[in-house]
Structure formats: C-alpha cells, structure tokens
Amino acid sequence: MITSRIAARIEDQYGVEANSVSSLLKEAEEKVFHEAAEEKITAAVIILADGNVGKLIDAIELMETDWRDLLIAAELAHADWPSTLNDIFGTGH
C-alpha cells in the first residue's frame, strides 16, 4: 500500500520516475498478495531501494520470493516496526 508518506518518499527519491516506481510497486503487490500489501511491506521495499532503481528491482524480487525475508532485510520484522516507520517516513499516513 502506497500511503501518502511513502508516496512522498518515492517522489523525493525518484522524481520524474516516481509514477513508474509506484506503478511497478503496485503491480508487484498485486502479483504477490492479489491486493495492496501492508504499508510495512511497501515501506521495506522503499527502504532497501534507497532511491536506486537497481536496488528497487532487487527489493521487489525479494518481496516476490519471500516477503518475510524482505521485512528482515529492512529491519521491520520486529514488534516495534510502526515506530521505525514513523522515524523513517514521519507520522503522516
């Protein structure tokens, strides 16, 4: 799920490619979950990609292989993940 705070980060990091990045993320979420993923999964992809398209593709592939490994790699597999998202993306949704 691309929330407003994740959309803002995508816009910040990818600029003119932001719409393409968002579309790619939505397509991958549909493929894996048959609906929008939870915010923390989408956030994990953006965290790992860190504004790099190559890393974005790698993070999406990791999500498609095993989304739990994606959460571990992005350090969002712990119980306090909401606080981590707030620290990285701010508190707006």
Output the DSSP codes for 35-68: SPPPHHHHHHHHHHHTT-HHHHHHHHHHHHHHHH
Q: Is residue 12 part of a domain?
A: yes
Range of the domain at 45: 4-84
Q: Considering the domain boundaries, does residue 92 fall inside one?
A: no
For residue 93, what pLDDT is reported? Answer: 58
Based on the structure, what is the number of domains in the chain? 1
Kindly state whether residue 65 falls inside one of the protein's structural domains. yes
Q: Residue 76 pLDDT more than 80?
A: yes
Q: What is the pLDDT of residues 34-45, one digit of tens each?
A: 988 899 999 999
The stretch 61-67 carries a mean pLDDT of 95
Residue 58 lies in a domain: yes
Domain membership of residue 23 (yes or no) is yes
Look at residue 89 and tell me if it is in a domain: no
Q: Is 18 part of a structural domain of the chain?
A: yes
Average confidence score pLDDT of the chain: 94
